[in-house]
Amino acid sequence: MKLNQNQQEAVDYIDGPTLVLAGAGSGKTRVITTKIVSLIKNHNYLPETICALTFTNKAAAEMRERITAEIGSDMAKRLTVCTFHSLGLNILKKEHLHFGLGTNFSLFDQFDTFKIVRDIIREHHPILTVDDSEKNAALEALEKISMWKGQLLSPENLNQTAAHAQIYKRYQAYLKACNAVDFEDLIFLPSLLLKTDADARERWNKYFKYVLVDEYQDTNETQYQLLCILTEVYKRFTVVGDDDQSIYSWRGARPENIKTLSIDFKNLKVIKLQENYRSTPNILNCANALISHNPHLYSKHLYSHQFDEGSLIRVISLEDENAESERVASEILGNQYLTKRKWSDYAVLYRSNFQSRSLEKAFHESRIPCVITGGTSFFEQSEIKDLLAWFRLLCNPHDDAALLRIINVPRRGIGEATIATLTKAAKLTGKSIFHSALNPAVTKDLHTKQQAALGDFMRVFIRLQSKINTDKGLWLTEHILDELKYEEYLRSNSESRMAIEAKIKNVKQLLSWIQKLIVGKRNEKGLTFIEAIDRLGLREMLDRQDDNSNNDAVQLMTLHAAKGLEFSMVVLVGMEEGILPHKSSIDLPHGIEEERRLAYVGLTRAREDLIITYCKKRHNKNILEDIKHQGPSRFLEELPAELLDRSNLPSKSQEAQKFSSIDTALEDLLKAFS
């Protein structure tokens, strides 16, 4: 398809900083990929001098695939197309000495960091748990640490007497002792280095001659600083975003970065993409009317050249959440019967996860296949965490979190007393637990059985680590299950044969992924074993919510998870005060604005059919009493009345399905008596 005028302008302009305001469904990914191809083919940019940054591995993979189709795999391999965090990891690998890190440093996940902070609070700040649980105290501390890193603040920049600042300092010291970093460090540390070290900044200033950023509205302060540093010399970049789809302020995103960009770069070129290729005019006009109630630095108005205005947006009032769920199931069942759409063409969107429970029940009773996006991640399965911990430890023996997870997996008789002895010695020396296990002065006081069990673990570890470079690490992927007797361990610790087989299937899938990363594929070169483990560790953190299955099923998901997706028919449930907008956001500064953007994202996921529901009352135990009767959402009143169908009558498709069911029943009855 030919680019429209504004899309072509966004591709052609390369002389300075560029902001592309791309509305929902306006073809932003196509603009980015086309621009990269144009930089190479028409402007003689070398692929290795171009960097394209995204927020998910899925988006990066899609972008690379499109580019590969245009320029070939050999040239595409030379491009940097990755997430912000992947770029940060690459910088850390190259500059690790500046941070006192070894080459094989570990990446700690949320489970690891939670345990570290919880233990710090237990030992040094028990006062924080007087009025709260250990879990909540640890989570609050982690939230503050994440916020500070997102603002490019190190412990030294904070009030050293404050408890959370002290926790932050001890936490960073522990990470360093383990030769490890956390997820936020992947951007925090490189940004801090490039901001404070002139030599490093000069090296990386000249590394990329052109930088592109997707979903710019989701950048935080640190990511913005990284962009500025990377483009300091050439000042040639294109950021693509939509301030109306900024819905992640709770995790540090700053929609105001759009305004900051216009202040810091006076020659900023602003190009608007307003033609929508996804939704009907009626849906777009509803979305435009809703979002017009938010303030804008740059105004935009989505439009479509479709001749058919499309169906009215149906608004359905129900008695309670059970009636709502049954009606949604019935509407989808009837529509699917008439249109013969795939089940995956339907999505039910909600503000909070608890709303999925009654929906799942209704869909099950109606025999509608459905999948809840955001369920337990593949990487959250215990068997996957076990094997990844083993691989992490083989790559970095000083990864305490990994060692503590698998020192007794499979079981070999290493008890709490042994672990306590090793951990205590590690804290006293400031070195790793593995170092303590190698120290005769520490292990001499263990009982004979304890020494034997620990010795057995060390022998297994040393044998496996000696194979880390054998056949590029492929030997480990082929033999580790046998070496650890891990399948036997799973069979002895699973409740049913079905559970055992599922776990074995999972671990073999993981090993297959590692093998593919090492071997490489058509448009990507193979990785070393250590690089492959790093990649999977990062993938775990970035893609916890990604649904990579190809199941033909109705998608049940939160509005946050729906961003970037589209469906033929969307049902937006729970359009009530206290639900959407959420009760917790109503009194926050700019809270209503973000909730309105969230509703806007929901509306613009629909291509053809859109249904909005709300309940007169809710009985869900997870909702506070004062939420139950607050009435329809204020956002409903902001939609144009002439574009809404509030009749509350069943749709034609629902009626057709009902009569079809009657006909089918009669046919079955006649067959029974024939």
DSSP string spanning 6-23? Answer: HHHHHHH--SS-EEEEE-
What are phi and psi for residue 556, nearest 5 degrees? -105, 120
Per the CB < 8 A criterion, the answer to whether 557 and 374 are in contact is: yes
> Whole-model pTM?
0.75
pLDDT at 150: 85
pLDDT at 484: 93
pLDDT at 667: 52
Per the CB < 8 A criterion, the answer to whether 57 and 379 are in contact is: no
Q: What are the helix and strand counts (H, E) for the chain?
A: 30, 15
Element (H, E) at 531: helix 529-542
pLDDT at 673: 44
How many whole angstroms separate alpha carbon 96 and alpha carbon 2? 45
How many whole angstroms separate alpha carbon 419 and alpha carbon 425? 10
Q: How far from 432 is each of 98, 228, 387, CA to CA, in Å? A: 20, 37, 20
Per the CB < 8 A criterion, the answer to whether 176 and 399 are in contact is: no
pLDDT at 653: 55
For residue 502, which of 515, 491, 514 has the smallest C-alpha distance?
Answer: 491
> Which residues of the chain fall short of a pLDDT of 70?
1, 374-377, 494-495, 522-524, 539-550, 619-629, 649-674
pLDDT at 624: 41
Residues annotated catalytic, as ranges: 28-29, 214-215, 245, 605
Strand locations in 591-654 (E): 606-615, 644-645
**455-495 residue pLDDT tens:** 999 999 999 999 998 998 999 999 999 999 999 888 887 66
Instruction: Give Rg (Cα) of the chain.
Output: 27
Per the CB < 8 A criterion, the answer to whether 49 and 208 are in contact is: yes
pLDDT at 655: 53
Per the CB < 8 A criterion, the answer to whether 602 and 559 are in contact is: yes
Look up residue 601 and give its amino acid: V
Residues forming a β-bridge with 612: 315, 572
- Give the rounded distance of the alpha carbon of 3 from its chain centre: 30
How many whole angstroms separate alpha carbon 674 and alpha carbon 666? 12
